[in-house]
Amino acid sequence: MRTQAILGFLSFTPYVQEYVDAAHSILNHLGSISPYHRAHHAPDINSELPSDCTVDQVMLMHRHGSRGPIGEHKYISHLVQTLDDASDVVQEANLSRELEFLRAGYSSNLTPHNLTILGRKELFDHGVEFALKYPHLTIGEILSSDSERVVESARWFALGFFGLDADVRISTVSNTDDPVSWITPAPGPACPKFDYSFGQQATLTWSKQYLPAITDRLNKLLPGVGFSENDIHGALFACAYDLAARGVSPWCGVFHPEELADFEYERDILMDASCAYTLPDNMAPLVGTVFVNKLIERFTNSSGDSSPLYLEFGHDVTILLALSALGLAKDDPPLSPNELRPDRKFRTSELTPFAANMIWERFTCTRSFDEPQIRLILNDATFPLSICGKGMDTTLGTCSLDTFIKANHYSTGIQFQDETWNKTCGL
Q: What does the pLDDT average to over 274-296?
A: 96
Q: What does the pLDDT average to over 300-307?
A: 94
What does the pLDDT read at residue 8? 37
Tell me the average pLDDT of the chain.
Answer: 91
pLDDT over threshold 60, residue 15: no
What does the pLDDT read at residue 26? 84
Alpha helices of 15-97 — where are they, by DSSP H? 16-22, 24-27, 73-85, 87-92
Q: Which residue has the higher pLDDT, 16 or 57?
A: 57
What does the pLDDT read at residue 13? 36
d(CA 29, CA 31): 6
Q: What does the pLDDT average to over 24-50?
A: 90
What does the pLDDT read at residue 5? 36
Predicted confidence band of residue 24 (pLDDT cuts 50, 70, 90) = low
What does the pLDDT read at residue 73? 93
Q: What does the pLDDT average to over 40-59?
A: 95
Lowest mean pLDDT among 16-30, 161-175, 189-203: 16-30
d(CA 69, CA 149): 12
- Indicate the domain borders of the chain: 9-40+53-425
**In the chain, what percentage of residues exceed pLDDT 90?**
83
Q: What does the pLDDT average to over 96-106?
A: 95
What does the pLDDT read at residue 174? 87
pLDDT over threshold 60, residue 252: yes
Predicted confidence band of residue 207 (pLDDT cuts 50, 70, 90) = very high
Does residue 52 have an active-site annotation?
no
d(CA 85, CA 83): 5
Q: What does the pLDDT average to over 26-31?
A: 87
Which among 231, 262, 268, 316 is annotated as catalytic? 316
209-223, pLDDT tens digit by residue?
999 999 999 999 999
Does residue 64 have an active-site annotation?
yes
What does the pLDDT read at residue 7? 35
The model carries a pTM of 0.92
Predicted confidence band of residue 186 (pLDDT cuts 50, 70, 90) = low
What does the pLDDT read at residue 374? 98
What does the pLDDT read at residue 168? 85
What does the pLDDT read at residue 14? 39
140-180, pLDDT tens digit by residue?
789 999 999 999 999 999 999 999 877 888 999 988 877 78
3-state secondary structure of 29: coil
What does the pLDDT read at residue 190? 87
Buried-state track 33-53, b at ≥16 Cβ within 10 A, e below 16: bbbbbebeeeeebeeebeeeb
**Percent of the chain that is helix, strand, coil (3-state, to 5):** 50, 10, 40
pLDDT over threshold 50, residue 357: yes
Q: Which amino acid is at 1?
A: M
Which among 29, 37, 62, 64 is annotated as catalytic? 64
Question: DSSP class of residue 67?
Answer: B
Q: Quickly count: other Cβ atoms within 10 Å of residue 64's Cβ.
A: 28
pLDDT over threshold 50, residue 6: no
What does the pLDDT read at residue 1? 33
CATH 3.40.50.1240 for domain 9-40+53-425? yes
pLDDT over threshold 80, residue 21: no
Among 275, 231, 206, residue whose Cα is nearest residue 32: 275
